[in-house]
Structure 1
Amino acid sequence: MDSADEEELLFLSMSIAYIQQRRKPRLWVRNFFKKRETHGVCSSLYNDLVIQDAIGYKNTLRMSPEDLEILLQKVSPKITKHDTNFRQAISPKDQLLVTLRYLATGDTYTALMLISRISKTKISVFVPEVCKAIVQVLADYVKMPTTTEGWEDIAQNFKLKWNLPHCIGHIDGRHIEMIRPKNGNDYLNYRKNFSIVLLGLVDANYNFLYADVGTPGKISDSEVFNSSNLYRSLQNNTLNLPPPKPLPGRTQPSPYVIIGDDAFALSKHLLKPYSYYQINGHPEKMFNYRLNRGRVVVENAFGILSARFKVLRQSILVSPQKASTIVLACVYLHNFLRKSEKSHYLYTPSGSLDEINPVSGEITLGTWRDRNQGMISLQRVPSMDCAEGVAVREEFKAFFMT
């Protein structure tokens, strides 16, 4: 073996030894992010609030610590990430708290980065993922009845609280503004803003029974309902609604109905007020008064939703698909907190909702109305009312006059 071969062999041996002995790559992270565990949103803010300022904690999250822990346990399996040789994974608790703050405040990702010490790139990735997990784990909190008895219970609540028999929900919608998407013209609404539509059916307790999100804002508002699964289920008679029966004191069988406004077309199962030009006297005015008085439930549901989740009051800076997931997460959290024994009065404290006096019928307005809610209502436009719907409305008008 000559000297050249010996030198080559020696170099090869040294290279192999170096590779075998080299140290594992160190975690690379900016100094600002290294203090996340001690100065981030979990350790520095919420932990201090829980220990030192329980009232401040409740006002910040509108959620009890117990319900936060329940929610964390539910979503953790779906959002847990693993450490790599280059990065330390963000804990499920940090992901959830940052997401809840984003929904509650509408803060930019840059602002969230400063308080959480998590890069805005990571935040932009996990916020939609956490929202998707919230919708999945809280699926049972937003759903329509599947039995006739379930719909009858809802109708009974409307009758007792608002004196509206045969009512199975109030429907309404809002445009949720967003950044211009790639196919922006499809999302340009009547206000010349880019938006997706949130369509919701609400029960007598201000909870959402049904939510449809993502219809492009360009679609005529009267067609939003017609393109929904709820409309198709009504048309196909697959909701297991109770059979028609007479209203109290009447003899003509009447179907169970959803109540809407002029953004929707009158039909067999959708009741709406008379338009201004249709009012001929006191009976129509009385009908409109009774219907509009009961519609405060849907106004309150959307009002509280946008008052508590301020991300809905500004342009959402993500794609339509991610924006839809974010909006749905707000709806599901709304029902989760409304139905919680521990968080119910934190989310909607006394005086925040409209209240009706059962004796005088007078309505006391809730504090949520004191602020501009930001979401755009559906456009009220003339629509073709079917003859069957007209007959149903006439029967309800006669009932209200008795």
Structure 2
Amino acid sequence: MIIHFISDKSMAYGEKVIFVAMDQYILSKTDAFFLVMTAVMLRKKKKNRTRRWSKEWYLLRHRFTHEHLQRALVDTEPDDFKNFLRMDEATYEYLLYLIRPRIEKQDTVMRQAIPVNQRLSVTLRYLVSGMDLEDLKFTCAIAPCTLGGIIIETCEAIIAALKENIQVPRSSEEWCRVAEGFQNRWNFPHCIGSVDGKHINIQKPANSGSYYYNYKQSYSIVLMSIVNSSYEFMMVDVGANGKVSDGGVLKNTEFWDRFSSNQLNIPQPSELPSTNQTLPYVLIGDEAFQLTSNFMKPYNQAVLTDERRIFNYRLSRARMVVENTFGILTTRFKIFKRNITLPPQKMRKIVLACCHLHNFLSKRRINYIRRDDVDFEDTQTGTIIPGS
């Protein structure tokens, strides 16, 4: 029951009083009017505070979605469609088929689910454009908070569906095929992979101090990878903080544990082509890595001879495959060209999804890798022409 108080001041001045229904408390006309107006104002305020389920233009997604543009590009400009999502229509439909069971949602009595096609296409646009979620919402009519969940969920689905596209060779025969590729393309025999790390710039996580601060004076996580001569990832490890050196990141991977304990079925040392010299199969990297019997790096500049200088040139020429791969990845997925404002755990899924898509598109042979993307050697002058 609401308790009504009598104003002593009002009674003192002889103001007329009234009785309030449902109880026997006496109020002055002034107090009664004040209470009524207060109740009206509170009711209006409560009504104004009523939350909306969604903004009106989000509810008109069927009118404003980018899906209309996507259909128009398929029908009229296939090259622009390929630039829009970094793949042709057939490849897109195949990818959609692979991940559909993992991301498809059911309509409810409250609202319609966002279609699978929009979920995949908006995720690809986020990866290839590097657009912020607040900007991306205007191209797809999906709220940023919803976009964030869709993108991570779709990236998880891509990783699961394409997991076979990134595989460490499992047999001696597979390792030998990798070595044959380096021999044929770069004239570097017995090479079974080029190793390097790439810093993925991120916004400094809250309460992280200098944990992710790197020597480039930015905050990052590290993408450590091994690639073959065809610019395809054979191993990726994502998530180490940028403070750790490339050599330290590699040593903390499961791959290195198996590699250093001879559990990867790497071929036994054999004779080099056209010689009687028996040498091991090796990974190659730069000066940041440790020299071992199965890992080669360039000679130090202080101890170079003519023969060692030639060796450094040929090793560096083969090693640039991994740097070119990072360049292709950054060019195709512009998300890597800005500081990403996501937690490191979510960022790891973004990076892994891009790596899997890179291999998937490369294997589909859809001109994903162009000649001017990579370094090549001028055989007349013996110089390396850098890619774009």
* TM-score range for the pair, normalised by the shorter chain length: 0.7 to 0.9
TM-score normalised by length of structure 1? 0.80
Q: Is the contact between residue 29 and residue 87 of structure 1 (CA under 8 Å) also seen in structure 2?
A: no
Aligned to 1:167: 191
Q: Is the contact between residue 177 and residue 193 of structure 1 (CA under 8 Å) also seen in structure 2?
A: yes
Aligned to 1:93: 117
Q: Is the contact between residue 28 and residue 87 of structure 1 (CA under 8 Å) also seen in structure 2?
A: no
CA shift digits 1:141-200 (9 cap, x unpaired): 111110100000110111111111100010011111112223523212122322110001
TM-score normalised by length of structure 2? 0.83
CA distance in 1, matches of 2:53, 2:110: 6
Say if 2:285 is the partner of 1:264.
no
Aligned to 1:383: none
Q: Is the contact between residue 298 and residue 316 of structure 2 (CA under 8 Å) also seen in structure 1?
A: yes
CA distance in 2, matches of 1:98, 1:131: 11
Aligned to 1:214: 239
Aligned to 2:60: 35
Aligned to 2:204: 180
1:2-401 paired onto structure 2 within 5 Å? 28-43=53-68, 45-184=69-208, 185-279=210-304, 281-341=305-365, 343=366, 345=367, 347-357=368-378, 361-366=382-387, 368=388
SS of the residue aligned with 1:304? helix
CA distance in 2, matches of 1:318, 1:168: 35
Cα distance change of structure 1 residues 88 and 187 upon mapping to structure 2, 3 Å threshold: same
Q: CA deviation at 1:360?
A: 6.2
Q: Is the contact between residue 170 and residue 295 of structure 1 (CA under 8 Å) also seen in structure 2?
A: yes
Aligned to 1:391: none
- 1:179 is matched by which residue type in structure 2? Q
Q: Percent of aligned positions with the same letter in both sequences?
A: 39
Q: Is the contact between residue 78 and residue 88 of structure 2 (CA under 8 Å) also seen in structure 1?
A: no
Q: CA deviation at 1:92?
A: 1.3
Cα distance change of structure 1 residues 240 and 358 upon mapping to structure 2, 3 Å threshold: farther
Gaps of 5+ in 2: 1-51
**Greater RCO, CA 8 A, separation 6+:** 1
- For the pair shown, the structure with the greater C-alpha radius of gyration is 2
CA shift digits 1:379-398 (9 cap, x unpaired): xxxxxxxxxxxxxxxxxxxx
Q: CA deviation at 1:246?
A: 2.4
CA shift digits 1:87-126 (9 cap, x unpaired): 3211111111111011101100011100000010100111
Q: CA deviation at 1:35?
A: 2.5
CA distance in 2, matches of 1:122, 1:297: 38
Gaps of 5+ in 1: 1-26, 369-402
CA shift digits 1:1-41 (9 cap, x unpaired): xxxxxxxxxxxxxxxxxxxxxxxxxx944221133223201
Q: Is the contact between residue 196 and residue 246 of structure 2 (CA under 8 Å) also seen in structure 1?
A: no
Q: Is the contact between residue 119 and residue 154 of structure 2 (CA under 8 Å) also seen in structure 1?
A: yes
Q: Is the contact between residue 28 and residue 86 of structure 1 (CA under 8 Å) also seen in structure 2?
A: no
- 1:332 is matched by which residue type in structure 2? H
Equivalenced residues, count:
336
- 1:96 is matched by which residue type in structure 2? L
SS of the residue aligned with 1:212? strand
CA shift digits 1:355-389 (9 cap, x unpaired): 335676544332x3xxxxxxxxxxxxxxxxxxxxx
- 2:154 is matched by which residue type in structure 1? V
Cα distance change of structure 1 residues 130 and 362 upon mapping to structure 2, 3 Å threshold: same
CA distance in 2, matches of 1:168, 1:340: 23
CA distance in 2, matches of 1:257, 1:65: 40
Q: CA deviation at 1:316?
A: 1.2
Q: CA deviation at 1:219?
A: 2.0
Q: CA deviation at 1:295?
A: 1.9
Q: Is the contact between residue 299 and residue 312 of structure 2 (CA under 8 Å) also seen in structure 1?
A: yes
- 2:256 is matched by which residue type in structure 1? Y
CA distance in 2, matches of 1:183, 1:282: 51
CA shift digits 1:40-93 (9 cap, x unpaired): 0112x2111111222211222220100000111111111112223333211111
CA shift digits 1:192-211 (9 cap, x unpaired): 32211000101011111111
